[in-house]
Each structure stands twice: as C-alpha cells, then as structure tokens.
C-alpha cells in the first residue's frame, strides 16, 4: 500500500484505473471534471492507452461507454448532476440492457449550487432506472469502492451509479492505494443481442428480469460492507446517515456516537436495516445530503411522528449539509463564535479582464440600444456572467443549448430581435440540433457562437468543435451570406456592431462567430511556450 494525498475526484479516478478500467467517457462539469483530467495525466493510464478524451456531451459519453461494455471491457462515465438529464435516455435504458463489461456512472451533485443551476439529487435516477447506487463517505471509501462497484456491475450485470457531492469530489485526504493494479478485461463477444436489442418483445423479458432482480439488489445492500449498523446503548435516538452526512454526524461525536447509527452507502435502501432501527429506537433522525430521498422511502404515506429530518425541519430542505446544521439537528449547542463582519463586501465572480466575451457583450449592448424590447437568450458557461453588471445583457439561461431553441420559440411567438448567445463547447454539446430546427424554418433569430476555443468555465478543456464551426453551420444548411466570423477586440468594435446590426435586420436565421482564445488558456499556453 502506498499513501497519496488525493481529491475525492482523484481517488475515484485512480480507483477506476486500478480496477482495470479501459476507458473514461465524460463531458466537463463542476464538480466532476478532475476525474477525467486525472486519468488523462496518469502514467499507467497512458501506458495502457486507456481512452480518456472528452466526449461531446454526456449522452455520447454514456453510449460510448456502453459500447465498450458491450465488448466486455470496463468503462467509467463521469458528469455533474445535470449531465444525468442529458444522458438520461441511454442511462435509463442501460438499466434494461444490462452490461457485459462493468460500467460505473459517476454523478457529482452540487448542493448549494456552488457552480450549477439546480440542486437535483442523482440518487433518484438510480431508483428510477432500477440501477444499484453507491455513495461513498470518504476519499478512501471512494477509491476502494471503484473496484467493488466494477465487480458488482459485472456480477449483477447492471451498470452501477456512483453518487458524490461537492465536498466529496473537491476535498483532499490521504488515501492508501494499491501497488498492484488489476489488468484490463480482455475483449469478448458474450453480449447477447436479445438483451441489447430493445425491441418490445425483448424489452418486456428484460423488464421482467431486472424488476425481479430488485429484491436481490436490496438483499445485497443489507449485507453490504458499506451499509453499517453500529448499535449503541442509548436507544432514545437512532441516526441514519448517508454519504457525506455520515461524516458530519461523526464530527458531532468525537468520542463515538452514543446512539445506534446506520451508515448508508449502497442502494436500493436496505429496508431491513432501517426497520430494525425504527423498531429499536424511540426516534430516528435521517441525515442525508441532497433531497429527502431516504426520508421519503422511510415515511411512505404513514404518519411517522418519531422520524425526523428534512420534512420536519430539523435539517434544512435546501443547500448542502455542514457540521453546524447537523449539530443543531442533534439538539447540541453550537460553539461560541465571532459575528459576521458587517463591512465585508460581496465579491461575485466576473469575466476575466481581456476576455473576448466582454467585447461580444459590449458590442451586442451597443447595437440592441437601437431596438425596442430586444431579448437575448443566454446559455451555460462563463458568458452567463453577462447577466451581471456591467453588462446585464442576457434574459435567460436554462440548460445546455437552450439559447438557440428558446430564441427560436420566442421568434415563433413574434419576438424581434431574438438573439441567442452560446459558447463553442455548449454549441457542440447541445446547440447544433436546435440550430437545425431554426435553419429548417429560417427562423428570425441571430445566433452568436462566442468561440474561445475551449471549454472555459470548467478550466480550459478541449472543445469538441474547434476549427469546425463554419463547416458545422454550413452543413446544417446555413447560407454563407449569413455566417460571419469576427475577432472580438475593442479595436474591431465598428465591424462587430455592423455585423450584429445587419444580421438582426435580416429576417431569417443567421450566425455570427466572434472568435478569440480564452484568456486563461492563452496565459497557460504562453507559459508553456516560455518553459520550452
């Protein structure tokens, strides 16, 4: 065993490599990005030639992983929680096909929305797709769990969902790692077409099979080494704590928990263990990060006055957990502390100085002043910050790609000017299909693809469409006359504003591509050049 100081994300990545992974498939998204980046930089992964290039979106990633599994090899799919929505179709149906080589799907939830547009809890996807779900409590457990999860996936012939939250993904701890990594699986032809061709006749059989499997999965969860029932003398209270919630409970009891404590890190929920606690303890507190997922199952529709948690207000319904809210839920005194300092001003994130998105918004705002009621539909990325002062330039930001489609819908409703602002990586992730809709109807919208040659928000990963955007737009049927490329710099302001004005005044679909490298990657590239 060797000790390493690893982020939760890195522990997951290394755990996967050591479990005989053959490929990671992912689209960047906080707080999951570092998993794939770690595999990209890992020596053993390079030596073995493991697949680690970024996928265009989470759906393509999930399907590529299924293909690798079909051929008998182990694949990991990584994404932030909202990525689960994008890959929901292949994910849910992978619960029907089952797997050949092991598949682990990693969803990193972001309660408190440090870097996200919502707080959804990915455990619901596991239940929905009838897929076993793991939720580690520590970095060491996350590392160890990877080999267990891949083995389990191959044993029950189902994908495994691994759910983490921000504080697990982005916290470092010392992890003992193996010095004898498992070999990769050899390719095989064991995948049975009747399982994988989800024609209704086949799918009905699979549905009966995986539904019948649920009891076995729950029994496995009852005996899982990760679901631990620790009895204690004082039965006036029992505590059910999952994932990282378990740590906060332990933090409150440095001398050991005086009450029975049930740690949950594997689902389906082991109901037998929960029933034991309900029957042996006077009251039960449920501590889980995210939505009241366990609590919902435990309560059902029964009146349960002795069950406490998020529904009863002991713990907050929204936001991440921390040691203080758990302490309060346990009825313990919060220690003495200083009051917040009233003079501290908020310091919101902002677009970098010199960033091309700044010039795009400056030009757009200048032109739109000439029109009544213009509407600008934004998208997901650094440029969402265009909502904030000094720009206040966008009116919506919903999900990856929604800028183009919402602009089209607004134009369909009679809005003019309807402008969409989308980044290069978001465009290839989920904007291309919407642009095809617009072009097919020649919708009266102006699309700005603000191309900084990278996936900027998550730290500068490769962008799938770099050098291909004009070709993509032409391929989707856009005429060259309404496809313009500009360089977003203050000195080019007259040219950029004229292009925007002309295309707004053209009553059909047009695309403007302002293109200049991201300041963050530019600085990194200059540094690398200097080092050479």
* Interface positions with other proteins (CB under 8 A): 3, 5, 7, 30-31, 33-34, 114-115, 167-168, 170-174, 244, 247-248, 250-251, 254, 322-324, 327, 334-341, 343-352, 382, 385, 457-459
* Least spacing, CB of residue 117 vs other proteins, in Å: 11
- Nearest CA to 12 out of 139, 167, 135 is that of 139
Torsion of the alpha carbons at 82, 85, 86 and 89, rounded to the nearest 10: 160
Q: Which is nearer to other proteins, 16 or 244 (CB)?
A: 244
Strand, helix or coil for residue 14:
helix
Q: Is 337 left (phi over 0), alpha (psi -120 to 50) or beta?
A: beta
Q: Which is nearer to other proteins, 173 or 198 (CB)?
A: 173
* Least spacing, CB of residue 241 vs other proteins, in Å: 11
* Least spacing, CB of residue 199 vs other proteins, in Å: 42
Angle among Cα 109, 90, 318 to the nearest 5 degrees reads 20
Contacts of 467 (CB under 8 A, 6+ apart): none
Q: Which is nearer to other proteins, 200 or 389 (CB)?
A: 389
* Least spacing, CB of residue 88 vs other proteins, in Å: 23
Q: Which is nearer to other proteins, 181 or 459 (CB)?
A: 459
Judging by DSSP bridges, how do beta strands 160-165 and 238-242 pair with one another? unpaired
* Least spacing, CB of residue 355 vs other proteins, in Å: 9
Contacts of 199 (CB under 8 A, 6+ apart): none
Beta-bridge partner residues of 451: 515
Asked if 512 and 482 touch (Cβ cutoff 8 Å), the reply is no
* Least spacing, CB of residue 120 vs other proteins, in Å: 17
Beta-bridge partner residues of 423: 450
Asked if 102 and 153 touch (Cβ cutoff 8 Å), the reply is yes
Question: Could you tell me the CA-to-CA distances from 158 to 60, 124, 143, 337, 424 in Å, in that order?
Answer: 19, 17, 20, 49, 35
Q: Which is nearer to other proteins, 382 or 407 (CB)?
A: 382
Q: Which is nearer to other proteins, 177 or 217 (CB)?
A: 177
Q: Which is nearer to other proteins, 40 or 322 (CB)?
A: 322
* Least spacing, CB of residue 215 vs other proteins, in Å: 34
Q: Backbone phi, then psi, for 515, in 5-degree steps?
A: -130, 115
In the block, residue with structure tokens 């694949």: 75
* Least spacing, CB of residue 116 vs other proteins, in Å: 9
Q: Which is nearer to other proteins, 127 or 327 (CB)?
A: 327
């Amino acid at each position: 065993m060797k000790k390493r100081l690893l982020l939760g994300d890195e522990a997951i990545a290394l755990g996967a490599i050591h479990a005989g992974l053959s490929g990671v498939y992912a689209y960047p998204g906080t707080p999951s990005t570092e998993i794939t980046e770690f595999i990209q930089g890992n020596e053993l992964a390079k030596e073995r030639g493991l697949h680690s290039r970024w996928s265009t979106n989470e759906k393509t990633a999930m399907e590529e992983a299924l293909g690798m599994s079909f051929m008998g090899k182990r694949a990991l799919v990584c994404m932030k929680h909202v990525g689960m929505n994008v890959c929901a179709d292949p994910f849910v149906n992978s619960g029907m096909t089952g797997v050949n080589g092991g598949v682990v799907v990693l969803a990193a939830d972001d309660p408190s929305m440090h870097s996200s547009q919502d707080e959804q809890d990915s455990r619901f996807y596991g239940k929905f797709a009838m897929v076993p779900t793991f939720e580690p409590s520590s970095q060491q457990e996350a590392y160890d769990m990877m080999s267990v999860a891949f083995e389990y996936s191959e044993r029950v012939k189902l994908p495994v969902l691994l759910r983490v939250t921000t504080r697990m993904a982005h916290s470092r701890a010392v992890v003992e790692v193996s010095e004898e990594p498992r070999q990769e699986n050899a390719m095989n032809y064991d995948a049975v077409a009747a399982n994988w061709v989800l024609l209704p006749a086949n799918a009905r059989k699979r549905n009966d099979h995986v539904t019948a499997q649920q009891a076995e999965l729950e029994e496995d969860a009852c005996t899982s080494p990760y679901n631990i029932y620790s009895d204690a003398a004082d039965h006036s209270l029992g505590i059910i704590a999952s994932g990282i919630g378990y740590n906060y409970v332990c933090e409150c009891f440095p001398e050991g928990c005086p009450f029975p404590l049930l740690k949950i890190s594997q689902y389906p929920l082991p109901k037998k263990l929960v029933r034991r606690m309900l029957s042996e303890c006077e009251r039960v507190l449920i501590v889980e990060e995210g939505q009241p997922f366990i609590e919902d199952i435990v309560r059902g529709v029964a009146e349960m006055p002795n069950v406490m948690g998020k529904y009863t207000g002991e713990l907050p319904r929204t936001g991440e957990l921390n040691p203080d809210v758990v302490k309060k839920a346990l009825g313990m005194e919060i220690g003495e502390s200083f009051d917040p300092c009233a003079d501290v001003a908020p310091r919101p994130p902002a677009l970098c100085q010199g960033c091309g998105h700044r010039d795009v918004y400056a030009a757009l705002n200048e032109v739109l002043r000439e029109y009544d009621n213009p509407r600008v539909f934004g998208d997901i990325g650094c440029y969402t910050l265009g909502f904030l002062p000094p720009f206040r330039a966008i009116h919506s930001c919903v999900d990856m790609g929604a800028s183009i489609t919402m602009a089209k819908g607004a134009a369909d409703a009679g809005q003019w000017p309807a402008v969409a602002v989308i980044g290069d990586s978001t465009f290839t992730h989920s904007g291309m299909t919407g642009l095809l809709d617009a072009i097919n109807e020649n919708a009266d919208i102006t699309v700005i693809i603000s191309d900084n040659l990278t996936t900027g928000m998550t730290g500068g990963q490769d962008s799938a469409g770099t050098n291909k955007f004009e070709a993509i737009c032409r391929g989707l049927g856009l005429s060259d006359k309404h496809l313009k490329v500009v360089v977003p710099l203050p000195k080019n302001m007259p040219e950029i504003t004229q292009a925007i004005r002309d295309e707004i005044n053209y009553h059909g679909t047009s695309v403007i591509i302002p293109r200049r490298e991201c300041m963050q990657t530019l600085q990194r590239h200059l540094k690398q050049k200097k080092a050479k």
